Amino acid sequence: FSGSGAALTGITSGLPMLDVWTISSDVNVTSSSDFITSNWTRANSYQATIGSAMTESSGVFTFPSTGIYEVMFSPQFNESESSTNRYVTTQIYKVISGSVTMIGESVGSITGVSGNTYARPISHVYFDVTDVSTHKLKFKCLSINTTIIMSGHSSNFLYTTLTFKKLGDT
């Protein structure tokens, strides 16, 4: 952009799509946890949504249209024991034509103290969806040393969120 009166090109008006999901109840997370395949629910009664919605089946998320998406998985973990070094991992996997590959991971820890302690390792990726029938995502969490809880939503606010934002066309 230069000079007055110059036209902007390649810029759309606003975010084309935003969809927020959560889990409906607490999930136990262990060192052998598998993909999160149940309890996903859209959070539209808690958060604003824009455009078409994601769809989910058995923990696999399908995009409503092709494009470049920003995806953020932000679970809240809590532990009530006082042991130490409870490492927690948040992972995002792409599923392309049935082939599953991790594309994002974040690691945090919960330091042992008396009472409840919390962690929020956030995984964040950009994903190019060139075909909605073949390009999908799924999610996993692991706790290395002990079982911890990934918090489901409450009646007042969200603890764990999964956010999809379409940034533009592919």
Q: Where are the alpha helices (DSSP H) in the chain?
A: none
What is the spatial distance between Cα 11 and Cα 49, in angstroms, rounded to a whole number? 21
pLDDT at residue 97 in the model: 94
Q: Which residues in 69-90 are b (16+ Cβ under 10 Å) and which e?
A: bebbbbbebbbebeeeebbbbb
pLDDT at residue 91 in the model: 95
> What is the residue-level pLDDT of the chain in tens, covering all 170 positions?
344 555 555 555 678 999 999 998 888 888 888 899 999 988 866 666 888 999 999 999 999 999 999 999 998 887 766 565 568 889 999 999 999 999 999 988 877 666 677 778 889 999 999 999 999 999 999 887 777 777 887 777 788 889 999 999 98
Question: Other C-beta atoms within 10 Å of 160: how many?
Answer: 25
pLDDT at residue 150 in the model: 79
Residue where the block lists tokens 């089946």: 57
pLDDT at residue 92 in the model: 97
pLDDT at residue 112 in the model: 64
Query: pTM for this structure?
Result: 0.85
pLDDT digit string, tens, across residues 86-113: 688 899 999 999 999 999 999 888 776 6
What is the spatial distance between Cα 57 and Cα 88, in angstroms, rounded to a whole number? 25
H or E element at residue 63: none
pLDDT at residue 86 in the model: 66
Beta strands in 50-98 (DSSP E): 55-57, 60-62, 67-74, 77-79, 86-96
Q: Taking Cα atoms as reference points, which of 86, 71, 78 lies closest to residue 139?
A: 71
